[in-house]
Structure 1
Amino acid sequence: MTVLAALALALALLPAALALANLGALRRRATGAPAPDGLVSILIPARNEAANIRPTLAAALASTGIPIEVIVADDHSTDGTAAIVAEFAAHDPRLRLIAVPPLPAGWTGKNHACHVLGEVATGRHLLFIDADVRLAPHGAVSLAAAAAAAGAALVSGVPRQVTGTWGERLTVPMINFLLLGYLPIPLMRRLQDPALGAACGQLVMVEAESYRRIGGHGAIRGSLHDGVRLPRVFRRAGLTTDLVAASSLATCRMYTDFSQAWAGFSKNAHEGLATPRALPVWTLLLGGGHVLPLLLVIAALLGAGPLPLAGAALALSLGTRAAITLATSEDPWTIPLHPLTVALALALQWNALLRPRRAGVATWKGRTYPAAQ
């Protein structure tokens, strides 16, 4: 038990140190200033988003500090999405509605819609947002400023995640925890290694010329995980990518209950953690650093192990989660449930890896097509 407790403490120390460095790095990043002629194209792929699109459009059109255009790609919606966008466009010439052509073979839906948007946009910077993302008025100009300050061809960040049910609260916080607890952002900024590239697909700004030079979303046409794949394509081309603290720049409610969250995170698991080589390592890192400490504390309280070491590991794990949660303005009531959140995340990844895989199981907004390998 003493050896296990020491291992748990060491595994909890790694994300604690990285989170400390990462949160400091994000705070220290200068904002700079965008070029005065820097039009930003806010690009929104939309498929059956009638329930979401009104506040998304209102927020995007309320952007300040930089000239914008807003383009919505209606991707064969069967609800009132197109009519709502057309209604807004009739009152604001900065907004355009375009229709997405039929989905070509080998493409996933979101990537195709984004690629079409990228081809018609006229801005110096292209800001891709999901249809459930609400930009703050200063969101677009702040991202353009961050890109200018970093000399980055791609800049991204995680919007403040809105969670309304406990099913969401137990799953969604893993986005920021994995990013800030396990990606060395200071190292990412020093090295061009594609493996260090990361983004949040909900909020991605790219420099238009560089984006088109690398092939746009066509370079990841078969992927369901643009947050992983797109920055790596940029980095392989020798371009700089960066991350910013974005909880004040936008908000997003990804899902509305546990079943949606489980299905949503499962669909791109094979391009993230759920690979035969990666998942055992992640199970050791996450399970050992955040689930094992709680089990060891329980065992110690029952007289079966050293409480000081186990307690220190658990305190470090929860402290790391608390620091990340508070810095990203997420729900603080989820902090004590952190071991369960990590256990659920690992269960989801193992389920995605081990369940029988059939051709055409990946989905986006009601479509099925072969998942990227």
Structure 2
Amino acid sequence: MIVAIYIVFFFIILRFTVTLFNFISNPKLPHIANHYTDLVSILIPARNEAENILNLLRSIHEQDYRDYEVIILDDDSDDDTYAICSQFAAEHPKFKVIKGEPLAKGWMGKNYACHQLAKHARGRFLLFLDADEKVYKRLINSAVHRMYLRKLCLLSLFANQEMDTIGERSVVPLMHFLLLNLLPLRLIYLVKKRASVAAASGQFMLFDAELYHRHQWHQLVKNKVVEDVEIMKAVKAYGYSGEALLANGMISCRMYTNYIDGVNGFSKNFMAPFNYSIPMFLMYIVLVVGGPLLIISTGDLPLIGQIIGLIILTRVMISLSAGQNTWLNLLLHPVHMFNLAVIAFLAIQQQLTKATVWKGRKIS
């Protein structure tokens, strides 16, 4: 019992330390007023995104970067995605929409869509965005500046998350919760040629086009479910520089619109940071969810107070870094932990049965 308590206490201290490092180092993309004129190809894979994509297209049109092209690939949608994009493109000459080819054997759907999009791109930089996002002024100038400043092959941003329902708010904050207390983001750039120190978000992937076309990054990870992290690993393994930062309010995303979609969506990729190792994933879940309960069961009030204080400080720092409601995240922390356990159960079940389905396609 004593040994278990020491392990839990050490684990919570370690997670707090990582969170503190991320909070102090402030891994956000700085707002830059410099104006660049490189052609940026904005590439958007879209499958059944009729409800979302118009918000993204309008936000791109309204942002302040002028030297860009937008290519949308309709990936066999069975809703009005193609018609909506076609109508918008007809009224805005920098936008065009293409029909995707049938999914090739051995490929994941999004990876194949991105691979096709890159073939049509003319830009000095290739920017892959998801269809459920909105972009804001200074985003592209700030990102291009960062590419030049750090001589990056890949810059990835973790978008600010929009949450309108209590179901979303009880699940979506887990993304930044795991991200900011598992990995010091600054190390992704600082630790060179170490593929193990990697994270990325497919919501924003900005590539040096020359290196992308040379290595065909999406083809390299064509059968990977969590392609963003795998690409960052590949970039670093080849000796190039990659960086992952928080979007700092310059891009937002509403990932899911309800509780069920959130749980199902996260369950397909939450094991990626653990290299899909079920024992490692289980150990983390047991410690993060069950550890504090073990401490509370001891009845040791000073120890319980220390643990609760560390958890509160951790949630405050993560919420502030992610631009989320701090008080609501604190209030919902027990709910978040319960949902983390639910997601873990589904993730392990899908890993064992190879039965993950997303947007109508089996992906594992």
The reply to whether TM is greater than 0.5 is yes
1:350 is aligned to 2:345: yes
Which digits, 9 at most, give the CA deviation of each residue in 1:271-290, with x for residues without a partner?
Answer: 44452242133235423xxx
1:337 is aligned to 2:332: yes
Instruction: Provide the residue aligned with 1:87 in structure 2.
Output: 87
Q: Report the Cα distance in structure 1 between the residues aligned to 2:246 and 2:118, rounded to whole angstroms.
A: 25
Instruction: Provide the residue aligned with 2:133 in structure 1.
Output: 133
* Matches for 1:223-262 after TM superposition, within 5 Å: 223-262=224-263
Q: Report the Cα distance in structure 2 between the residues aligned to 1:98 and 1:319, rounded to whole angstroms.
A: 48
TM-score between both structures, scaled by the size of structure 1: 0.89
1:176 is aligned to 2:170: no
* Matches for 1:293-308 after TM superposition, within 5 Å: 293-294=292-293, 296-297=295-296, 299=297, 304-308=298-302
Q: Report the Cα distance in structure 2 between the residues aligned to 1:110 and 1:336, rounded to whole angstroms.
A: 36
Q: Report the Cα distance in structure 1 between the residues aligned to 2:344 and 2:144, rounded to whole angstroms.
A: 35
Give the drift of 1:216: 2.5
SS in 2 for 1:96: strand
Q: Structure 1 unaligned segments of length 5 or more: list them.
A: none
* Matches for 1:53-132 after TM superposition, within 5 Å: 53-132=53-132
Structure 2 CA distance for partners of 1:85 and 1:355, relative to 1, 3 Å: closer
User: In structure 2, what residue type is equivalent to 1:265?
Assistant: F
Q: Is the 8 A contact 1:61 1:70 kept in 2?
A: no
* Matches for 1:192-271 after TM superposition, within 5 Å: 192-271=193-272
1:21 is aligned to 2:36: no
* Matches for 1:30-41 after TM superposition, within 5 Å: 36-41=36-41
SS in 1 for 2:243: strand
Instruction: Provide the residue aligned with 1:286 in structure 2.
Output: 288
Equivalences, count: 361
Q: Report the Cα distance in structure 1 between the residues aligned to 2:220 and 2:270, rounded to whole angstroms.
A: 20
Structure 2 CA distance for partners of 1:208 and 1:35, relative to 1, 3 Å: farther
SS in 1 for 2:247: coil
Q: Please, which of 357, 367, 370 is the counterpart of residue 361 of structure 2?
A: 367
Structure 2 CA distance for partners of 1:136 and 1:28, relative to 1, 3 Å: closer
Q: Report the Cα distance in structure 2 between the residues aligned to 1:152 and 1:10, rounded to whole angstroms.
A: 36
Q: Report the Cα distance in structure 2 between the residues aligned to 1:216 and 1:188, rounded to whole angstroms.
A: 18
Q: Is the 8 A contact 2:128 2:204 kept in 1?
A: yes
Q: Name the stretch that deviates more: 66-75 or 34-43.
A: 34-43
Q: Report the Cα distance in structure 2 between the residues aligned to 1:200 and 1:366, rounded to whole angstroms.
A: 22
Give the drift of 1:189: 2.4
Which digits, 9 at most, give the CA deviation of each residue in 1:181-212, with x for residues without a partner?
Answer: 11122333222211111111111111111122
Give the drift of 1:160: 0.9
Q: Name the stretch that deviates more: 84-93 or 327-336.
A: 327-336
Give the drift of 1:165: 2.2
User: In structure 1, what residue type is equivalent to 2:258?
Assistant: D
Structure 2 CA distance for partners of 1:344 and 1:11, relative to 1, 3 Å: same
SS in 2 for 1:194: coil
SS in 2 for 1:157: strand
Structure 2 CA distance for partners of 1:305 and 1:25, relative to 1, 3 Å: same
Instruction: Provide the residue aligned with 1:311 in structure 2.
Output: 305
Q: Report the Cα distance in structure 1 between the residues aligned to 2:250 and 2:101, rounded to whole angstroms.
A: 31
Q: Report the Cα distance in structure 2 between the residues aligned to 1:82 and 1:11, rounded to whole angstroms.
A: 49
Q: Report the Cα distance in structure 1 between the residues aligned to 2:239 and 2:351, rounded to whole angstroms.
A: 38
Give the drift of 1:355: 5.6
Structure 2 CA distance for partners of 1:83 and 1:22, relative to 1, 3 Å: same
TM-score between both structures, scaled by the size of structure 2: 0.91
Give the drift of 1:100: 0.6
The two structures, once aligned, show a CA RMSD in angstroms of 2.3
SS in 1 for 2:158: coil
User: In structure 1, what residue type is equivalent to 2:336?
Assistant: T
* Matches for 1:34-53 after TM superposition, within 5 Å: 36-53=36-53
Q: Report the Cα distance in structure 1 between the residues aligned to 2:156 and 2:27, rounded to whole angstroms.
A: 15
User: In structure 1, what residue type is equivalent to 2:82?
Assistant: A
Structure 2 CA distance for partners of 1:66 and 1:309, relative to 1, 3 Å: farther
SS in 2 for 1:348: helix
Q: Report the Cα distance in structure 2 between the residues aligned to 1:306 and 1:272, rounded to whole angstroms.
A: 33
Q: Is the 8 A contact 1:66 1:141 kept in 2?
A: no
Q: Is the 8 A contact 2:32 2:138 kept in 1?
A: no
- Identity of paired residues, percent? 32
Q: Name the stretch that deviates more: 58-67 or 28-37.
A: 28-37
Instruction: Provide the residue aligned with 1:12 in structure 2.
Output: 12
Give the drift of 1:33: 8.0
User: In structure 1, what residue type is equivalent to 2:343?
Assistant: L
Q: Report the Cα distance in structure 2 between the residues aligned to 1:170 and 1:285, rounded to whole angstroms.
A: 20
Q: Structure 2 unaligned segments of length 5 or more: list them.
A: none
Structure 2 CA distance for partners of 1:356 and 1:178, relative to 1, 3 Å: closer
